[in-house]
Structure 1
Amino acid sequence: MSRIGNKIITLPAGVEISQNNGVVTAKGPKGELTREFNTNIEIRVDGTEVTLHRPNDSKEMKTIHGTSRANLNNMVVGVSEGFKKDLELKGVGYRAQLQGTKLVLSLGKSHQDEVEAPEGITFTVANPTSISVEGINKEVVGQTAAFVRSLRSPEPYKGKGIRYVGEYVRLKEGKTGK
């Protein structure tokens, strides 16, 4: 029995779900997302409730059931509220700025790193040491934030680099540390 797969998805006001041969489209105030689902999983839309049902209890169907429900729920949340990842820069001289849709980062290298925003993603720089990655697709928001973080991930001795807001970075002791 899949606990996640059996949960009911409630549609917020303004969100519509339509399906055609395993391709599900979610439309909402923030935009539109389309995704292809396994044809064995039956998606039922009853008013403002969406349920997913699997044909049998094989291990493969159980895994697809839970994953499909999570992906569909992320689509509904994305088109109604959107997703956001916050990053912060730690280090002397580390700063970020926007040039159009391009994010320009000064990270203590001999050159500046430039990150072009993928389709559907917007960067926001509130101050030179904080970056927000926003969009309606949870996967793309997470991948973009991870890519930006990978340009200078936190190093283990002083903790300098790009990190998620609230991320704990475990620091090592130096040579003189005891």
Structure 2
Amino acid sequence: MSRIGKKPVELPNGVTATISGQTVEVKGPKGVRSFTATDDVDVILEDNAVSVKPRGLSKRARQQWGMSRTQVQNLVTGVTEGFKKELEIQGVGYRAQVQGKTLKLALGYSHDVEYAIPEGIDIVCAKPTEIAITGMDQQKVGQVAANIREWRAPEPYKGKGIRYKGEYIFRKEGKKK
């Protein structure tokens, strides 16, 4: 039995959900999101809450049960609060700034790295060394953060690079004479 799957997803005030077949569409103050569940689970709307139940006892149905419930929960969270990832830049001369729909990164290369901000994602640089990525879609926010981090991942000797806020980088000792 899935402990996560058993709990219904409560819909807060101002959020409505409609179910047509296997598709769940959630409308809230930030916008509209939808998710299509597999045929292994039933999605039911009852008492201002969305419940997910497995259609059988097969392994696949039990796997999809908890995952589908979490996807519906992420829809509700996305249209109410949204998702946020924060990045920190460390290194001499490393900085970031937003210009229109482009993120400009100076990361020690001979040229500035320009990253086009995708639709549905907002990027804010409060300081030149901090990047905040927000949006309704958790997967998209995480993917954008990973793509930006990929340009200069933190290295273990000096710790220079782009890291997630609060991420610990295991430091190594350099060569000795």
Alignment TM-score > 0.5, same fold: yes
Deviations 1:42-84 (A, max 9, x none): 1111132211111112111010111101111001100010000
Contact 2:74 2:138 in 1 (8 A): yes
Contact 2:91 2:160 in 1 (8 A): yes
Hey, what does 1:105 align to over in structure 2? Answer: 105
Residue segments in structure 1 that go unaligned for 5+ positions in a row: none
SS in 2 for 1:127: coil
CA distance in 2, matches of 1:176, 1:31: 57
Hey, what does 1:67 align to over in structure 2? Answer: 67
CA distance in 1, matches of 2:57, 2:2: 9
Moved over 6 A (4+): none
Residue segments in structure 2 that go unaligned for 5+ positions in a row: none
Deviations 1:8-54 (A, max 9, x none): 21111111111212121111001111221113311111132211111
CA distance in 1, matches of 2:170, 2:88: 16
Hey, what does 2:26 align to over in structure 1? Answer: 26
- 1:52 equivalent to 2:49? Answer no
Letter of the aligned partner of 1:74 in structure 2? N
Aligned 1:121-140 pairs, distance under 5 A? 121-140=121-140
* Alignment RMSD: 1.1
SS in 1 for 2:74: helix
Hey, what does 1:5 align to over in structure 2? Answer: 5
CA distance in 1, matches of 2:23, 2:45: 14
Paired-residue identity, %: 47
Hey, what does 2:82 align to over in structure 1? Answer: 82
CA distance in 2, matches of 1:130, 1:52: 39
Contact 1:21 1:39 in 2 (8 A): no
Number of residue pairs matched by the alignment: 177
Deviations 1:88-112 (A, max 9, x none): 1000000001110210000000111
Q: TM-score, normalised by structure 1?
A: 0.96
CA distance in 2, matches of 1:47, 1:101: 42
CA distance in 1, matches of 2:46, 2:128: 47
